[in-house]
A and B are shown apart, each in its own frame.
Chain A
């Protein structure tokens, strides 16, 4: 009996009228956890009932505590007929299960009904008493902390980063059970919501168990997704990165501790308490399990050459567990061959760590300094599967096998790139009818093993390794063998250190490393693509899709490359390629943030070559286009402030000649061309991309390149956490979600028309965003996350979530970005960032690292942060909720001082005001405004809040909602319906965060927004799944106050593997 859950129902407000006769409601509440239910008294005739219930106590296993949500149902009592449900509140009590997060959940929750939406609010208090259970169970994993944030959370320090954890659970979808025919839509929706809540609880618990087995205490970069497979069931799957985190106390206190991480390990109670569970590896093995036994010095010595980026594509059909040879175009086959040979070559490579650790994947996208040694490039794998019914939910083997297969492939791709790990790893699916595309992608990388293992066995070795690594460019150096490149690439010596080889272009799925040397600003780059596909059934359909996939990947890649060149940039970060499947088409959408890395060579221009060189007018046209392209490149360079220093030829050395791969549209060119600007003259063999216009398709492609409009001045956009080149954020943020659905006219469905429609859709959406947010200029849209889906024939849905952050333009203009400053981007928002890895700092103080200047910059940065104070003051600060309403009243009073007529009777007598509260007027019971409890909760997809410091993580928010309507027109049509629903989802997230005592959600993500409509029946349904980390933040201006409180907060035992509470 390890836990006691206590719930108190305090009051309700703004309830809907349930009794038409009296215009009132007789409300009571059912509180359910597991199979136990309690009820409050009926509070007669009120829309603002005050139940003030006793404490309802549930005595439960902690396994249940993790799995089950607390379910609160508000009902209207009816003497004669069945009680009517008003709505429900599901509360995830997980945040109460680890000691340093929230201790109580208390606040107003919106009462939600899947048919009517939010119907009033209820005030609930929830507490959990956990008992220490010495007999360790290990079915529950209470105490393992979960973070959606894909970097080490701000107030923690990573002791060890253990690695990949994954799990999936499957079940039947209640919507497809036979009983669904006879129950109401409400009952069906609620069954689904409850099931998913249960499943995610179970999933989290299971992942937690794995983490404990690895001796970690937290999961970072936790990403949980639902696959609604229709008839064949419901899959909830999650991936994450297991870590051992250590809470940062005051900087002075943790400095000595982190010099000996091994010491800390001893504090983990789990050590003294061997795992009694037999199914897991024995108590001693896990230690070895997590040891990467590769030798970093060797891997270092291997690197001598360079590479291009890579999109490895190996679609597999559902039936023939695909030998790669038969599908895919010539390009892919070639690629595969090279991959293969590289693999063979490397048979006895020193990278044998994989033998022990199944998948060396990391869902993190930002890393502690020094963690990332080299980046190879993007690796991705897709596979097309036919869904079949999940027969035994307890043994989700098929799905597991599918993912294992894909991960295996990713791993081998990474290997081919000479990398032993994959970072920025993510997985996704796209389902249409019974066909499912599984996708996984990440960035092949070589990591510094120090963080991956306990103890500092190889400490000195690494230290040496690192001293040789130049700052700001090390990660660009190729990890693979120059002579056995897995794909054609163009290598040069690093423009930064001139010692190592770098590729000419680098694509990655991670955030820009903090110490990366960047020139100019970054920008959002998107590739968009549609391909028609014949309608087909089952296997034929799957085959058709797998045949299309390689072409799509290839074209997406080409588009990205061309657009990158057009921007005059040479690297992509945060690359995310989404391929969605519909009945009769496939859509590809790739988003990334382009930057100019100082270490990589200047990109060549784009050159257009016509097919029929003899036609004069045609040539004129071509040269006109060429001019336009050159102009665009020049303009973009100016816009994004890309002006790399000139480098003389001798220093760099000539690029290594290598066989080039040719293809129809895109090829590398070795001869010099006089058309391209002076940059090329300095550099005889510099590449220029040649776009060969040999048919109308190609023409279209060139045109579409030029149609992308840059954002209006004052706007920047990126899909990464931080905008390269901007580092002076002010505190105003606005997170938003925008959804668009377009209907294609079925008449002119050609690939070209489709592409244009899709392109317009995305461009118009961006334009709308810029327009809407114009009042925030200068600002940057960060973490722009596009998702595309094909809900029906001829319907394309695009969902965007992003955050607009204002910045100080003046400072932005003044600063010239040196990488030292860059590394301070975050430091200015989180001063502890640098101190977080003190060990790092000692070893990082390399000769090339301009450390003293950095300090100066830090000072200037912090003093700079004071400058926008005036601005900050004008934007109302809501952090003190208690004052909020009184300030509101004051506001009214202030306004009132402009009295138009003679000032008469301005004194308000208390005697006159007081009787108001007692009378029986209808609205009277609404509490006076001075008692408002609505606090402002910020939401952001980023892991930080500009101008503020996160002081506490309260737990993960993971919510799933269904909303359905049978009166679509009355609710304002599809737009009205979805607008209201998304607003409600935001409201429920905010309410939960506020109840946990938080004032923000970071790393917020809307993972799913499935919208279905049937306008003929006047019906619509929508499913939304969101997650994020609830946090407490403090404005930097208020930090002094907090620093005095902090020691108290840190008195709690620092988090360790086993977690004392059970």
Chain B
């Protein structure tokens, strides 16, 4: 006796959260059944393995049918085939678009291309996440990227509107899209200590301050379609950043800046002497990073540079985080007192964001 056909269709589509998770995690039906058996469900319910197998198959089939709709979540809301309560719809979407930290760290900043997709096997082996799940996550990134790529307006809003994600997840996707678009390097060894959250935090700050969208609707912009609002860094701004070079190039200005900072922080920093000794190096590092951002390659290396030029020196001198904060605040603020420096607004736009990023990046 073999079962040729075995289906269950409810007027309200049954969604088993546990099976959904197994499906999302890319387990095959037999693996999923084995895992469910191990969870002790048979003892709890008195069911047999055959029942479990049939149930798992049913759910998998349902999820496969739903997957097409999940690719465009608004469709899931409008479709008539599956009657799913709104709370369940939200759960389906949210879980489908959720990703693994380990996976996202591997692809963050990479071009979401076929080439990267080919590397998913390696990522799968490395992270222990099933290839199927890797593919889903990668395809999700790519899909979101494609949809919002050419869209104007707030990145988070666009994502939320077209994928109906929670605010939190939409922000994460905004970061992923932003990183993928600007191809920030995140995979270097010295960046390994950073979590996705760290990068996402930086991405958000950068989106808010460094992109075209950040300055609001620029009335002077001759062609409003020319640039994407939130995805691309404001080219003009990056160009202008060169002007900051004077802060380190002009020796008087640098000395003045240093003395202003040192005066203000004397007695307040535990690592004052180290700071004093390193000030010029640190300042040179931060300003040079800014000045280099006109080149795409240097933009990509932004995080590598920040870690090399600032985070690592601080770390080697064992700066406490509070000292870093005090220093960076003072370092940014003191520039306002430099009479010879004319690019105060530019400096604030640069340093305001960078300060936030650096504070986030300074940890072990």
Contacts and interface: CB of A to CB of B under 8 A. Distances in A.
Given A14-B79, A937-B83, A916 B152 contact: yes
Interface string A715-748: 0000000000000000000111111111111000
Interface in A216-236: none
Contacts of A734: 10-12, 14
Given A14-B78, A744-B1, A892 B157 contact: no
A764 B151 contact: no
A766 to B, nearest CB: 10
A683 B125 CA distance: 76
Interface stretch (A395-403, A907-915, A1046-1054): A907-915
Interface stretch (A494-502, A636-644, A921-929): A921-929
Given A972-B61, A1011-B5, A771 B72 contact: no
B77 A932 contact: yes
A816 to B, nearest CB: 29
A1014 to B, nearest CB: 13
Interface stretch (A189-197, A409-417, A626-634, A986-994): A986-994
B103 to A, nearest CB: 18
A46 to B, nearest CB: 16
Interface stretch (A249-257, A473-481, A648-656, A882-890): A882-890
Contact of B77 (A743, A878, A929): A929
B47 A974 contact: no
Contacts of B151: 916, 919, 921
Contact of A735 (B3, B4, B10, B150): B10
A990 B83 contact: yes
B277 interface: no
A862 to B, nearest CB: 27
Contacts of B48: 764, 767
B266 to A, nearest CB: 30
Interface in A1005-1042: 1011
Contacts, number: 225
B161 A768 contact: no
Contacts of A885: 77, 86
Contact of B90 (A895, A928, A975, A986): A895
Given A742-B3, A926-B75, A984-B81, A919 B152 contact: yes
A499 B168 CA distance: 75
A767 B79 CA distance: 31
B20 interface: no
Nearest to A760: B1
Given A915-B153, A937-B83, A984-B81, A888 B90 contact: yes
Nearest to B158: A916
A20 interface: no
A891 B86 contact: yes
Interface in A233-283: none
Nearest to A912: B153
Query: Which size bracket describes the interface of B in this complex?
Result: 35 or more
Interface string B137-164: 0000000000100111110111011101
A979 B9 contact: yes
Contacts of A769: 8
B80 A987 contact: yes
Nearest to B229: A912
Interface stretch (B108-116, B200-208, B328-336): B200-208
Interface in B59-93: 61-62, 64-65, 72, 74-75, 77-83, 85-87, 89-90
B11 A895 contact: no
Contacts of A923: 72, 74, 147, 162
B316 interface: no
Contacts of A972: 61, 64
Contacts of A986: 9, 11, 81, 83
A507 B185 CA distance: 78
A722 B197 CA distance: 55
A764 B50 contact: yes
B73 to A, nearest CB: 9
Contacts of A911: 217
Contacts of A888: 77, 86, 89-90, 164
B2 interface: yes
A582 to B, nearest CB: 15
A770 B167 CA distance: 38
Interface stretch (A58-66, A558-566, A606-614, A897-905): A897-905
B55 A978 contact: no
A330 interface: no
A684 B75 CA distance: 71
A532 interface: no
A624 to B, nearest CB: 25
Contact of B160 (A712, A892, A983, A987): A892
Nearest to A800: B8
B157 to A, nearest CB: 6
Contact of B87 (A736, A757, A891): A891
A887 B6 contact: no
Contact of A772 (B5, B55, B78, B158): B55
B80 A976 contact: no
Most buried by A among B1, B78, B83, B154: B1
A134 interface: no
Given A893-B167, A899-B167, A921 B147 contact: yes
Nearest to A895: B166
Contacts of B168: 895-896, 898-900
Given A905-B208, A927-B78, A979-B61, A736 B8 contact: yes
Contacts of B86: 876, 878, 884-885, 887-888, 891
Most buried by A among B48, B79, B208: B79
Contacts of B58: 772, 979
A926 B11 contact: no
Given A734-B10, A895-B168, A983 B204 contact: no
A919 B86 CA distance: 28
B65 A983 contact: yes
Interface of A: 13-14, 108, 110, 118, 121, 712, 734-745, 757, 760-761, 764, 767-772, 774, 795, 797, 876, 878, 884-885, 887-888, 891-893, 895-901, 904-906, 908-909, 911-913, 915-916, 919, 921, 923, 926-929, 932-934, 936-939, 972, 974-976, 978-980, 982-984, 986-987, 990-991, 1011
Given A745-B1, A768-B8, A913-B154, 14 more contacts: A734-B11, A739-B6, A739-B7, A740-B3, A740-B6, A764-B48, A767-B51, A768-B51, A768-B54, A884-B86, A891-B90, A905-B154, A912-B152, A986-B11
